[in-house]
Amino acid sequence: MRKSFSLAELAIHLIFVATTIAMVVPFLLVVSISLTEERMLNELGYRLIPPKISFDAYRYIFESPVILSRAYGVTIMSTALGTFGSLLLTAMMGYGISRRDYRYNRPVTFFVFFTMMFSGGLVPTYILITQYLHLRDTIWALILPGMLSPFYIMVMKGFLTKVPHEIIESAKIDGAREWTIFVRIVLPLSAPALATLGLFISFNYWNSWFPAMLYIDNEKLVPIQLLLVRMMQTINFLTTHSEFVSRLNVDLAEFPNLSARMAMTVLAAGPMMFVFPFFQRYFVQGLTVGSLKG
């Protein structure tokens, strides 16, 4: 018997279509503004469909590419180093505490888990990093503070608990040592979890602005997100002092160059937008937080 088309299912699809539009359209609006001529923005306001497509904003940015390429460089560098290091340490720790036969399993798990519930807070961390570790204005200030998330370690542990213990036992009988077992057996088996966590970690690095805001003054080490934050602070000035600016007779059409800011936003978000759909298929598999407990 053919399944009849149910009204409930239609309603569900309608809800999802509406949600999809609500999720995607705001971002498309920014893309559209970045493609609109500055003059038209002030005349017509922001439109979802640009009245006339213009690449002026992008041309403007790429005319002086030093700032952008440097910011991309810093972001790519910290993302690559950070993701690799973080993923490796997360997998090692997650594997260690997933082994029920590991004698220090419980204390080490608690050691990790406790940081999820209590932290020294922003100020002691700030003092530690700037005054004692002297990481201010180094790329390590962008990489190290966010390197290990206890939550990801628990997700990794949850995933690895499902690796059958017999595999490890038999490798041991064949004379493999723990490190060999980890590299040769456990890492390959955890590819879906590594892909998922790697994606999340790299996104965290790509999108991170907080360490940069706190620790970076050197122009050469400004990552792309901090660049956006700094442009935003200029907008802040303009919006709160709009009367002041108009009285000064500043030509607003020339001055704030909004389309360029929006183009910068698209460029900051863009690369990762292309990457993440390819990792989608691992998500459900890799994100079994149900086994978080324990």
* 203 binds other proteins, rule: CB under 8 A: yes
Residue 166 corresponds to which tokens in the numbers above?
């017999």
Binding mask 71-90 for other proteins (x = CB under 8 A): ------------------xx
Binding mask 96-115 for other proteins (x = CB under 8 A): xx-x--xxx---x--xx--x
Count residues near other proteins (CB under 8 A).
98
* 276 binds other proteins, rule: CB under 8 A: yes
Closest contact distance (angstroms) between CB of 289 and other proteins is 6
**Which one of 141, 142, 153, 216 is in contact with other proteins (CB under 8 A)?**
153
Per DSSP, the three-state class of 36 is: strand
* 214 binds other proteins, rule: CB under 8 A: yes
* 206 binds other proteins, rule: CB under 8 A: yes
**Which one of 143, 147, 195, 216 is in contact with other proteins (CB under 8 A)?**
147
* 14 binds other proteins, rule: CB under 8 A: no
Residue 59 corresponds to which tokens in the numbers above?
């041309």
From CA 76, how far away is CA 205, in angstroms rounded?
9
Q: Alpha helix locations (H) across the chain?
A: 7-34, 38-44, 56-63, 65-98, 105-117, 122-127, 140-143, 150-160, 165-173, 178-180, 187-189, 191-206, 210-215, 224-240, 242-247, 258-286
Binding mask 33-72 for other proteins (x = CB under 8 A): x-------xx--xx--------------------------
* 173 binds other proteins, rule: CB under 8 A: no
Stretch that binds other proteins, among 49-57, 64-72, 76-84, 236-244 (CB under 8 A): 236-244
* 197 binds other proteins, rule: CB under 8 A: no
Task: Give the DSSP per-residue string, 104-119.
Answer: THHHHHHHHHHHHH--
* DSSP 8-state secondary structure symbol assigned to residue 186: I
8 Å CB contact between 204 and 146: yes
Stretch that binds other proteins, among 51-59, 61-69, 76-84, 148-156 (CB under 8 A): 148-156
Nearest CA-CA partner of 223 in 176, 267, 180: 267
8 Å CB contact between 94 and 157: yes
How many C-beta atoms surround the C-beta of residue 136 within 10 A? 16
* 250 binds other proteins, rule: CB under 8 A: no
